[in-house]
Structure 1
Amino acid sequence: MALDLAFELMMLLTSGCALLVSAWLFWRARRRRSMKALAGFGVMMALWCAGHVAVFHGWERLGIALILANPLMPTFFLDFAVGFVNQGPGHTPWLDRLARHRGLLYLAAVLVSGVTLWFGGGGIIAFGPFDHYFVFQGSGWFNIGYTISVGVLAHTLLLWGFTRHRGNRKRSIAAMFAAGAWGLWLATSFIFPSLGLLWYPWPMLLLPSYVLLLVYGVVRYQMLEVNAWANRALLWTLLTLLVLGLIALFSAMAGSFGMQALANVPQWQLWLYSMLLLLLMLALYRPLNKLVERLIYPGSRLDEQLLDTWLARLRDAAGWQELAREAEQLLSRQMGQSVRVRLLAEPPLPEPGPGLQLWCLHQPGGWQFRLLGFDDVTPGMRLTADVFASLLATRCGLLERSLQLAEAERKRLSEQHLVELGGLAAAMAHELRNPLNIIAMATAGLEASRKTMIQHQLQRADRLISDMLAYAGQLQIQRRPVALAPLLDSLQSQFDWQQARFDYRLPPGFTLQADPYRLQQVLVNLIDNALAFVRNQEGGRLLLEAGDRPGSLCLHNNGPAIPADLRDRLFRPFVTRRSGGSGLGLAIVQRIMDAHGGQIRHSAELGWPVSFELYFPEEHTP
């Protein structure tokens, strides 16, 4: 192939690549002015290359005008650099002012181009394989000097931005510098004939790579689809080089194998045929790929729009039931038949039922999926189910973490509320007990009956204050083994039994892992609450016995059964059926059991009208 023709083809290829990339950038830029300026740089690169082609074909005035317009090329790049650097943490006022006066930069570039064109800044010479080649003359050196100065200014600005930015923007600037060094080396050979060095500009044959590398370096960290395109482009480039190398080797060895006719074919023709064949393969790849997918996976209709729809619908589900219901609707619609979706967070696993089922299981390594009943579906439908199940498993993991964060935040706010409530309760208790003490001292001179009545009410008020402090305050639990029988014996003298009978049945040496003071508080509240209903009842009885598992107790009484409408809210504060009660006794017991990591629940199924089951774990559960 003639060297002048090779140079012309590279200029045309560079121009075409620059126009295509610029059009794509302008389409994707939307409101990002910096990307539009980079698209303008690409357009000027295309015109500059077109100017060389015009010179080759004898259109000298047009070609010289396009080449001498090259100051606009670095001006567009400077405009891009200003916008690219002046974003995020690198935003500065002086760059804002420069951006507002960018019009002056373009005006200066146009004036330099016009003046050098008017004063004949370029000429045409013949050397080597070229009959027409552009060289700078006279004022043209001012043109190239201005162009280089603006380019240096743009790269200096990028270097300053490199020190200010982090992350992907910093990586983009580094990639631009690497592409700029590559472009500088390529363009240097273009200047040599103007300096009297009549060397063939070999590096200029690689000029198409410059604009592609520059734009790719900018957008590879900004637009993910560019990386997918670059992956395919690099693959096809390597495949092309491999094919061309094999063709050259085969052509050189064809004569040795008796294929003289093939050996006589010019190598460039073989390369041209190979390139045409590769381009044909590239054009047919996507339709053939879709055809093969339909043959191998009939019935499969997966595409990016469908996957985006699935992700959006699954992302909108705020709970497990809603997620399972949404997943069933999406998969059943896609499969054309009913599919049951089950989200199983804990074993044991249920028995599989009939029909198609998708199970998402919570495993130690994360959420996994299992397809049941899919043995007889087509490969395409199985592929659809596999892809959907993978998305659903991922969404289950994200929802689990989201709910955990929400629960942690709820607990934090609850604990903060309790701290505030505890502080308020302590302040109120102090303010209330002062007037109560004054009232108690004022009863000293009253007659006995009236004094007794007032003292009884004062004790009730003091007990109510103590209950409020116990419920609202911070619970500090210090667990240790507590022998229960001696504790019960010491407590019996504190109650007014009024002929009610109290018994306990405990194994010898029975102990609980609990805070002694809080355990006493639990027993006092439960026994006092039961006595309020059985002490005036004939044959009233309380029984405390060990439960079926270690650390468990059952406190029974034969008082009236608790109404069904009260059982669900029995442990809430200020819920009581006891005359004169504060409604905080059982709520305090619930808080103490929670602080131990234990449980308390009411039962009417243990042979007694009222039973409370308590469980203190052997080890502390936070």
Structure 2
Amino acid sequence: MQLTHSYESLQHQVEQLQTQLEQSDQEKKQVADHLSRLLELLPAGVIVLNNQSEVIEMNPSAKKILGDDALHRDWEVVMRNVFLSRNDAGELIAHDDSIYQLSETPVDQTKNRILLIHDVTSARRLQEHVNRHQRLHSMGEMAASLAHQIRTPLASALLYVSQMDSSQLDDVSRKKFADKALRSLNHLESLVKDMLQYAKGGKGSDKAIELQTLVSELQHGVEPRIKMSDSQIRFNAFVPGLTVMGDKDALITALQNLVNNAIDIVGSKAQVEVTVNKLPNKRVDIVIHDKGPGIETERLEKIFEPFYTSRAKGTGLGLAVVRAIAEAHGGEVWVKSIVGFGSQFGLRLPLMGEQ
């Protein structure tokens, strides 16, 4: 009797387990069906590679991108047949100029791989359109600002030149007007020079440059401005043999802009110091230090923006040009300033080779 009861209980448990297994199988089938439908409808391509990098499975989107004949073929061969190259972002470029993004994930405890590929052509084209619109908008603002800044020195130069042919003007006054006209024309030249350098992007050539040569040419280039402003400049000694790669003329322009900026902030009789500091991570800082009034914290975030200036005769492009040149050379420009104690501007550049 007890044995019969135990058998019936066991049979009942078996029936319950069978029912649970059937439910579980049904749920698994439903999940599998849902996943299969998702893969069918997924706009991105899903590719499964075996441990020999052969394509063993593809969803319809992947077949549309790669072609039906990609199945059971080596993935590297498929890549060479379908895609022409990669762009700077590592995205795949097809023969019809479509752009695809590829990502990969391993399968648990197997050597199989799952690849996800999707078409980002529309997104990239939209981004290019937005970037182009932003550039055009920025160029419009620059042109308007430049025209506004050109008008004042041009009007001054025309005024002084128009007075110079007066018969009532003595030689001293004529020379005075000529000097003023020349200063206005130099200001115009500075505006155009900065605008061209900014538009060029900061780098025109790529050659090895010794910092000793760079600093020596900087010393020669700023000498007239130092004398005109009755200022003093000191060049500190530094480790010889340091070399950077880039455009020497552009780097000279950047450093001259920093020296001129230091003089402009002080006004006259500025004390400027130039220091070259070798950094441990194969980089070098060329630092321009002035003992001027310093820069307020709220202005530090804006001074490298194009056409931002707090001076009536400033071009508003000097420091923006410095930043463009620094970034074009794989470096950066930085500033530290304490109101009442002066400012430090640094041009940080990568050093060549093992230095």
TM-score interval, normalised by the smaller of the two chains: 0.5 to 0.7
How big is the shift at 1:595?
3.7
Say if 1:569 and 1:431 are closer, same or farther in 2 by CA, change over 3 A. Answer: closer
Q: Is 1:604 matched with 2:336?
A: yes
Q: Is 1:442 matched with 2:176?
A: no
Among 211, 214, 228, the alignment partner of 1:484 is: 214
CA contact under 8 A between 2:164 and 2:178: conserved in structure 1?
A: yes
How big is the shift at 1:367?
1.7
How big is the shift at 1:518?
1.3
CA contact under 8 A between 1:504 and 1:543: conserved in structure 2?
A: yes
Say if 1:512 and 1:425 are closer, same or farther in 2 by CA, change over 3 A. Answer: farther
Say if 1:609 and 1:423 are closer, same or farther in 2 by CA, change over 3 A. Answer: closer
Query: Which amino acid counterpart does residue 494 of structure 1 have in structure 2?
Result: P
1:491-530 alignment, distance < 5 Å? 491-496=221-226, 498-530=230-262
1:175-574 alignment, distance < 5 Å? 291=22, 294=25, 297=28, 300=31, 303=34, 307=38, 311=42, 366-369=102-105, 394=116, 398=118, 404-409=124-129, 439=159, 441-445=161-165, 446=169, 447=173, 448-449=175-176, 452-472=179-199, 477-482=204-209, 483-496=213-226, 498-534=230-266, 536=268, 540-548=271-279, 549-550=281-282, 552-557=284-289, 558-574=291-307
What SS class does the counterpart of residue 118 from structure 2 fall into?
helix
Rg bigger for which structure?
1
Query: 1:246-297 deviations in whole A, cap 9, x for unaligned?
Result: xxxxxxxxxxxxxxxxxxxxxxxxxxxxxxxxxxxxxxxxxxxx95872684
Query: Which amino acid counterpart does residue 300 of structure 2 have in structure 1?
Result: R
Could you tell me how far apart the structure 1 residues matched to 2:24 and 2:191 are?
Answer: 76
Once the two structures are overlaid, the 10-residue window that deviates more, 468-477 or 586-595, is: 468-477
Could you tell me how far apart the structure 2 residues matched to 1:409 and 1:617 are?
Answer: 36
Greater RCO (CA < 8 Å, at least 6 residues apart): 2
What SS class does the counterpart of residue 303 from structure 1 fall into?
helix
CA contact under 8 A between 1:425 and 1:468: conserved in structure 2?
A: no
Say if 1:556 and 1:419 are closer, same or farther in 2 by CA, change over 3 A. Answer: closer
Say if 1:401 and 1:617 are closer, same or farther in 2 by CA, change over 3 A. Answer: farther
Could you tell me how far apart the structure 1 residues matched to 2:259 and 2:126 are?
Answer: 38
Could you tell me how far apart the structure 1 residues matched to 2:35 and 2:27 are?
Answer: 19
How big is the shift at 1:514?
1.9
How big is the shift at 1:516?
2.1
Say if 1:545 and 1:400 are closer, same or farther in 2 by CA, change over 3 A. Answer: farther
Could you tell me how far apart the structure 2 residues matched to 1:309 and 1:550 are?
Answer: 52
Say if 1:412 and 1:576 are closer, same or farther in 2 by CA, change over 3 A. Answer: same
CA contact under 8 A between 1:477 and 1:595: conserved in structure 2?
A: no
Q: Is 1:615 matched with 2:310?
A: no
Say if 1:363 and 1:431 are closer, same or farther in 2 by CA, change over 3 A. Answer: closer
How big is the shift at 1:403?
5.3
Structure 2: give runs of 5+ residues left out of the alignment.
1-20, 45-89, 93-100
CA contact under 8 A between 1:500 and 1:534: conserved in structure 2?
A: no
C-alpha RMSD of the superposition? 5.3
How big is the shift at 1:525?
0.9
Query: Which amino acid counterpart does residue 542 of structure 1 have in structure 2?
Result: E
How big is the shift at 1:522?
1.0
Using the size of structure 2 for normalisation, the TM-score is: 0.53
Query: Which amino acid counterpart does residue 218 of structure 2 have in structure 1?
Result: L
Among 292, 296, 319, the alignment partner of 1:586 is: 319
Work out the percentage of aligned pairs sharing the same amino acid. 18
Query: 1:40-60 deviations in whole A, cap 9, x for unaligned?
Result: xxxxxxxxxxxxxxxxxxxxx
Say if 1:485 and 1:462 are closer, same or farther in 2 by CA, change over 3 A. Answer: closer
Could you tell me how far apart the structure 2 residues matched to 1:466 and 1:441 are?
Answer: 23
Larger proportion of strand: 2
Could you tell me how far apart the structure 1 residues matched to 2:296 and 2:149 are?
Answer: 33
How big is the shift at 1:584?
0.7
Query: 1:500-555 deviations in whole A, cap 9, x for unaligned?
Result: 433234321333222222122111111111222246578x3323313414453232
How big is the shift at 1:580?
2.0
What SS class does the counterpart of residue 552 from structure 1 fall into?
strand
Structure 1: give runs of 5+ residues left out of the alignment.
1-289, 315-361, 376-389
